């Protein structure tokens, strides 16, 4: 299976998932707006290794080539002829990211706790599914106060293939013992949206940093600005109605 090969056939809406069993979240850019911090660390460190002739990358380059990608893929981009050196650079970059993150207040995406309460109130299963290194994911989830919210954290590095392949999301479904037909995904990057779609689930895409036109190419079910977007709550209210009507008819 190639990343995104199922994208043409997945056009199920969120209300079609009734009864809902689980919600799966990416971390960077989906739980919190961490991309600016990643971007500034890359802008600071890449000139030091002579990348792009020492000229700092711009945000357009970051969005197109780095955001949402697994570190092994970024290592290949930076050092195509010396992968171990690229891996070492990424390890150093992530260490700097965590040191900056530890000092900064990392606000959640607007409306995040409204959605997590909605999920809690309905007793749904939930997982964080991320291409981020384990220490990064754990630090961000902890700073957001969501350590006890997630049933499991699935890492791209623990799978045969990371996003944009579906493997991490398929593993989340397996671990949670839920069906793709009753689960949706929240993602903010092209790579992540492609992974969710390829895994056979509707994806709620967030325009946290990536342009709407770019995200639409990955075929999300809906695009929202944040978790207070009326489009999301209209879909969730309709989902609740369908669950309620199915219980009544039963």
What is residue 33's three-state secondary structure?
coil
User: Which of 26, 167, 188, 229 is an active site residue?
Assistant: 26
Q: How many CB atoms lie within 10 A of CB 121?
A: 8
CA angle 232, 233, 235 (to 5 degrees): 70
What is residue 221's three-state secondary structure?
coil
Tell me how far apart the alpha carbons of residues 111 and 32 are, in angstroms, rounded to a whole number: 11
What is residue 184's three-state secondary structure?
strand
Whether 92 is catalytic is no
Angle of helix 35-45 relative to helix 83-103, nearest 10 degrees, comes to 130
Q: Where are the strands (E) in the chain, listed by range?
A: 22-25, 125-130, 152-155, 183-187, 203-206, 222-224
Residue among 132, 131, 126 at smallest CA distance from 97 = 132
Whether 26 is catalytic is yes
Rounded alpha-carbon distances, angstroms, from residue 147 to 139, 141, 152, 175: 9, 6, 10, 18
Tokens of 87: 């891996």
Residue among 156, 181, 210, 151 at smallest CA distance from 30 = 210
User: Which of 28, 33, 167, 188 is an active site residue?
Assistant: 28
Which are the catalytic amino acids?
26, 28
């Amino acid at each position: 299976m190639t990343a995104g090969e199922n994208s043409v056939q997945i056009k199920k809406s969120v209300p079609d998932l009734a009864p809902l069993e689980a919600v799966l979240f990416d971390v960077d850019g989906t739980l919190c707006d961490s991309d600016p911090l990643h971007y500034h660390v890359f802008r600071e460190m890449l000139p030091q290794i002579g990348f792009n002739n020492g000229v700092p990358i711009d945000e357009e380059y970051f969005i197109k080539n780095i955001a949402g990608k697994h570190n092994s893929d970024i290592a290949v981009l930076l050092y195509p002829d010396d992968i171990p050196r690229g891996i070492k650079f990424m390890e150093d970059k992530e260490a700097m990211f965590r040191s900056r993150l530890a000092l900064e207040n990392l606000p959640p995406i607007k409306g995040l706790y409204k959605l997590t309460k909605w999920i809690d109130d309905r007793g749904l299963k939930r997982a964080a599914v991320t291409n981020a290194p384990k220490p990064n994911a754990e630090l961000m989830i902890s700073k957001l106060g969501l350590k006890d919210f997630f049933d499991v954290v699935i890492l791209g590095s623990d799978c045969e293939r990371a996003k944009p392949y579906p493997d991490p999301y398929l593993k989340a479904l397996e671990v949670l013992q839920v069906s793709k037909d009753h689960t949706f995904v929240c993602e903010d990057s092209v790579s992540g949206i492609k992974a969710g779609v390829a895994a056979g689930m509707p994806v709620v895409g967030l325009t946290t940093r990536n342009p709407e036109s770019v995200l639409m190419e990955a075929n999300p079910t809906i695009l929202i600005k944040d978790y207070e977007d009326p489009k999301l709550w209209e879909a969730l209210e309709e989902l609740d109605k369908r669950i309620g009507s199915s219980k009544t008819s039963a």
